[in-house]
Amino acid sequence: MKMKIALTALAVLALSVGAAAAQVQIDKKKPASPNVHVQIRNSFGSLRIVGNEAKEVSVTGRLAPGAEGLEFEGDRQDFSIEVATPEDWSYGSGDDADYRSELEIRVPSGASLDVETLNASIAITGVDGVVNVETVNGAVSAAGNPKSVQVNSVTGKVDVVAVSAEVQIESVSGAVSVKGAARTAEVTTTSGAIDVMGKEFERVQLKSTGGDVHVEGSFRGDGGLEIETFSGSVQLLVPADIAARFKMTTFSGGIESSMGPKPVRNARRSPYMEVRFATAETDFDVSVTTYSGNIVLRKSGETKPPAPAR
Amino acid sequence: MTCDEARELFDHPAARPHLEACAACRDEAADVRALSSAAAALPESIEPPTDLWRKIDAKLESRVVRLPAAVRAPARRFRLAAAAAAVIAIAGAAYVAIVIGVPGRTETAVPSPAVIGIPETVPAGRAVPSPAAIPTLGGADIAFIEARQQLRAALYERRKSFSPETVRTVDRNLKLIEGAIEEIRTAVARDPGNRELQKMLIATRQREVALLQHVTQTADLRTRTR
């Protein structure tokens, strides 16, 4: 019996050593200009991209055992970093550790990024340039102060934090969260929930078919907030002193508002419901339209959301 | 009755006295009916142009996507409501005969009734109207149909680019939008003068095309990230 256990242990050890030997550690760097453009592709695993003060692009981490290699090419202005993988790797293999390449990429803070993954998660911090991300299933997080953030995802969750520039996110089923943002945000999902919190928004456009939408923030200028859903509910929290023209419309959902007149059903077009009012003379428009989703508007600080009238 | 009220009810008997007295509304009502007739003259099936794919982006951006904003313009709302009606009718006609989702499978059942007075089924053998025949819409309607048809086929070709789980997710979301379209379409049929519903229907159709476009393009990541 003891012999059997010892043999098993040896076999496990041998397998572990073999797997470790197959892994390739990466440690590469090249000098780069402060506003370098970096294109990054990694199908499976994770990408951590960090902007810093160094005048170089560096890649560290671990390549998947079965990966064909890492391409790291470019001059000071333009870089390409790509994990090459066998063609027969299936999409379902993203959870398998043998297929995952875990990379940390450091770039000058002024860099702009184009990142593409299939299942690999992406975390970006400290990058000030333009950030574009495309992924199928990978979770995406971006924090810092990039000029703009554009994310296209299918199922991956998207979190954008403290970005003060333009944010444009398109997702199918992945939930989208934009927190601490300012200026402009444009988010479209089919079933993914949308959660937007920020201050001094100029223009916010949120569209979802079935995802719930939650917005909390302050606004400025003569822009607008536009929300459209089919069945997703909408909850909107605004400052009590907001200056805006409100128009909230639902066909078969309910509307509850702690501001403006009481919403009423249109007698001629029951169950159509609409409420319009302005809190000041302003060009800032707040428009919420749903088909069956409930709409709740309340002032920030109110503890309990009122139940929508139906 | 005011012009605004008449514009919401132009096909309703209650609006007739106003239309008889108001030349502007009468003209606009005539425009709407002309557009509706042109839309109804669409063919039973439309073959996909072979070189369309690369033009879809431009067409969607320049034509279809702009429509809801235009509908909001008060001065033109009546005419553009007609445009909306024609788009819906055209897209509805496309539903009847074009290939949906899986090549080889045709969506034959169109359960909802006529939308804004325009039949969902179109008599066979009619000629394709030239874009000039639908002056308010230009090529937007045709672009919409072409885009939807082409994107469905393109997505089908790329289904193997996704994991089975992702395919199921995409299918579930497409069904969600299709269900929304059907529900809104039924509501529009019950309340044909409701411009908000018309806009919602157009927006949801556009969202379907945008979803198809988005997922199809994402599928190409497979060939790029290798």
Shortest CA distance to B105 belongs to which of B144, B69, B156? B156
Vertex B111 angle, CA B107 and B113, to 5°: 125
CB contacts of B162 in chain A (<8 Å) are: 91, 136, 154
Phi, psi of B34 (to 5 degrees): -65, -45
Quickly list H helices, chain A: 2-22
Q: Residue A142 domain-assigned? A: no
Interface probe for A, chosen from B1, B218, B220, B224 (most Cβ of A below 10 Å), is B218
* CA–CA gap between residue A192 and residue A176 (Å, rounded): 7
**Co-location of B153 and B71 in the same domain:** yes
**Co-location of B83 and B32 in the same domain:** no
Does the pLDDT value for residue B8 go beyond 90?
no
Does the pLDDT value for residue B27 go beyond 80?
no
pLDDT tens readout for residues A217-253: 988 877 899 999 999 999 999 999 999 999 999 999 9
Q: What is the pLDDT of residue A293?
A: 96
Query: Which is more confidently placed, A259 or B83?
Result: A259
Task: State ipTM.
Answer: 0.81
Q: Which of A45-54, A262-271, B71-80, B216-225 has the highest mean pLDDT?
A: A45-54
Give, as one character, the DSSP assignment of residue B51: T
| Chain centroid to CA A280 | 34
**Co-location of B34 and B78 in the same domain:** no
| Structural domain that includes position A230 | 165-310
Shortest CA distance to B118 belongs to which of B200, B35, B199? B35
Q: What is the pLDDT of residue A282?
A: 87
Window A:238-267, CB contacts with B under 8 Å: 249, 251
pLDDT tens readout for residues A182-213: 788 999 999 999 999 988 888 999 999 999 99
| Chain centroid to CA B57 | 16
Q: How far is CA B146 from CA A158, B91, B203, in A?
A: 31, 10, 17
pLDDT tens readout for residues A108-158: 999 999 999 988 999 999 999 999 999 988 999 999 999 999 999 999 999
Cβ-Cβ contacts under 8 Å for B197 (sequence gap 6 or more): A251, B184, B187, B188, B191
Q: What is the pTM of this model?
A: 0.71
Q: What is the pLDDT of residue A170?
A: 94
Does the pLDDT value for residue B86 go beyond 90?
no
pLDDT confidence tier of residue A267, bands split at 50, 70 and 90: low
Q: Residue A231 domain-assigned? A: yes
Query: Taking CB atoms and an 8 Å limit, are A87 and B226 in contact across chains?
Result: yes
Q: Residue A2 domain-assigned? A: no
Residue type at B154 in one-letter notation: A
Q: Residue B54 domain-assigned? A: no
Query: Taking CB atoms and an 8 Å limit, are A117 and B225 in contact across chains?
Result: yes
Cβ of A43 under 8 Å from any chain B Cβ? yes
Cβ of A91 under 8 Å from any chain B Cβ? yes
**Co-location of A81 and A170 in the same domain:** no
Average pLDDT, chain A: 87
How many domains does chain A divide into? 2
**Co-location of A169 and A296 in the same domain:** yes
Shortest CA distance to A286 belongs to which of A187, A220, A193? A220
Among B163, B215, B224, the residue with its CB nearest the CB of A92 is: B163
Q: What is the pLDDT of residue A255?
A: 95
Interface probe for B, chosen from A71, A118, A133 (most Cβ of B below 10 Å), is A118
Q: Which of A105-114, A137-146, B116-125, B206-215 has the highest mean pLDDT?
A: A105-114
Phi, psi of B125 (to 5 degrees): 85, 5
Q: Which of A92-96, A266-270, B79-83, B184-188 has the highest mean pLDDT?
A: B184-188
H or E, element range at A83: strand A78-84
SS3 B11: coil
Q: How far is A239 from chain B (nearest CA, A)?
A: 27
* CA–CA gap between residue A90 and residue A145 (Å, rounded): 36
Q: What is the pLDDT of residue B46?
A: 40
**Co-location of B35 and B73 in the same domain:** no
Query: Which is more confidently placed, A120 or A93?
Result: A120
Quote the percentage of chain A above a pLDDT of 90. 65
Q: Residue A124 domain-assigned? A: yes
**Co-location of A253 and A309 in the same domain:** yes
Specify the range with the lowest mean pLDDT, choosing from A8-12, B57-61, B134-138, B160-164: B134-138
Cβ of A135 under 8 Å from any chain B Cβ? yes
pLDDT confidence tier of residue B6, bands split at 50, 70 and 90: low
Q: What is the pLDDT of residue B102?
A: 27
**Co-location of A217 and A104 in the same domain:** no
Q: Residue B142 domain-assigned? A: yes
Shortest CA distance to B189 belongs to which of B87, B85, B78, B42? B85
Q: What is the pLDDT of residue A269?
A: 66
Among A43, A134, A230, the residue with its CB nearest the CB of B204 is: A230
Q: What is the pLDDT of residue B201?
A: 83
CB contacts of A135 in chain B (<8 Å) are: 218, 221
Residue type at B192 in one-letter notation: P
Specify the range with the lowest mean pLDDT, choosing from A77-81, A83-87, A168-172, B98-102: B98-102
Q: Residue A297 domain-assigned? A: yes
pLDDT tens readout for residues A274-286: 899 999 888 899 9
Q: What is the arithmetic mean of pLDDT over B14-42?
A: 66
Among A91, A289, A292, the residue with its CB nearest the CB of B163 is: A91
Q: What is the pLDDT of residue A102?
A: 95
A7: number of Cβ within 10 Å: 10
Give, as one character, the DSSP assignment of residue B102: S
Interface probe for B, chosen from A100, A136, A189 (most Cβ of B below 10 Å), is A136
**Co-location of B26 and B75 in the same domain:** no
Query: Which is more confidently placed, A105 or B206?
Result: A105
* CA–CA gap between residue A249 and residue A287 (Å, rounded): 8
Residues of B at the A interface, defined by Cβ within 8 angstroms: 161-166, 169-170, 172-173, 176-177, 180, 183-184, 187, 191, 194, 196-197, 200, 203-204, 207, 210-211, 214-215, 217-218, 221-222, 224-226
Q: What is the pLDDT of residue A96?
A: 73
In DSSP terms, A140 is beta-bridged to: A122, A158
* CA–CA gap between residue A174 and residue A205 (Å, rounded): 17
Phi, psi of A114 (to 5 degrees): -125, 115
Q: What is the arithmetic mean of pLDDT over B19-45?
A: 61
Q: Residue A310 domain-assigned? A: yes
Q: What is the pLDDT of residue A309?
A: 58
Q: How far is B103 from chain A (nearest CA, A)?
A: 23
Q: Residue A236 domain-assigned? A: yes
CB contacts of B203 in chain A (<8 Å) are: 207, 228
Query: Taking CB atoms and an 8 Å limit, are A116 and B225 in contact across chains?
Result: yes
**Co-location of B17 and B86 in the same domain:** no
Residue type at A299 in one-letter notation: K
How many domains does chain B divide into? 2
* CA–CA gap between residue A195 and residue A200 (Å, rounded): 16
**Co-location of A224 and A304 in the same domain:** yes
Cβ of A195 under 8 Å from any chain B Cβ? no
Vertex B61 angle, CA A130 and B198, to 5°: 125
Instruction: Note whether A44 and A85 are within 8 A (CB).
Output: yes
pLDDT confidence tier of residue A180, bands split at 50, 70 and 90: confident
**Co-location of B129 and B208 in the same domain:** yes
pLDDT confidence tier of residue B32, bands split at 50, 70 and 90: low
Phi, psi of B176 (to 5 degrees): -60, -45
**Co-location of B34 and B75 in the same domain:** no
**Co-location of B130 and B209 in the same domain:** yes
**Co-location of B88 and B189 in the same domain:** yes
How many Cβ pairs closer than 8 A exist between chain A and B? 110
CB burial of residue A98 (10 Å; 0-12, 13-18, 19+): middle
Q: What is the pLDDT of residue A94?
A: 60
Q: Residue B166 domain-assigned? A: yes
Q: What is the arithmetic mean of pLDDT over B133-138?
A: 30
**Co-location of B19 and B113 in the same domain:** no
**Co-location of A298 and A250 in the same domain:** yes
Among B172, B183, B214, the residue with its CB nearest the CB of A152 is: B214
Residue A249 corresponds to which tokens in the numbers above?
A: 């419309």
Q: How far is CA A22 from CA A44, A193, B118, in A?
A: 17, 41, 66
**Co-location of A60 and A109 in the same domain:** yes
Q: How far is A136 from chain B (nearest CA, A)?
A: 7
Q: What is the pLDDT of residue B189?
A: 83
| Structural domain that includes position B107 | 67-225
Does the pLDDT value for residue A19 go beyond 80?
no
Q: What is the pLDDT of residue A296?
A: 96
Q: Residue A258 domain-assigned? A: yes
Cβ-Cβ contacts under 8 Å for A204 (sequence gap 6 or more): A184, A185, A186, A196, A215, A217, A219, A223, A224, A225, A226
Q: How far is CA A257 from CA A309, B84, B182, in A?
A: 9, 31, 29
Long-range contacts of A17-25 (CB under 8 A, 24+ apart): A19/A65, A19/A98, A22/A65, A22/A66, A23/A62, A23/A63, A23/A64, A23/A65, A24/A62, A24/A63, A24/A65, A24/A67, A24/A70, A25/A61, A25/A62, A25/A63
**Co-location of A36 and A96 in the same domain:** yes
**Co-location of B98 and B176 in the same domain:** yes
Q: What is the pLDDT of residue B132?
A: 31
Q: How far is A114 from chain B (nearest CA, A)?
A: 12
* CA–CA gap between residue A215 and residue A234 (Å, rounded): 8
Q: What is the pLDDT of residue B72?
A: 27
CB contacts of A91 in chain B (<8 Å) are: 161-163, 166, 222
CB contacts of B194 in chain A (<8 Å) are: 269, 272
HSE-up of residue B103 (Cα within 13 Å, Cβ side): 11
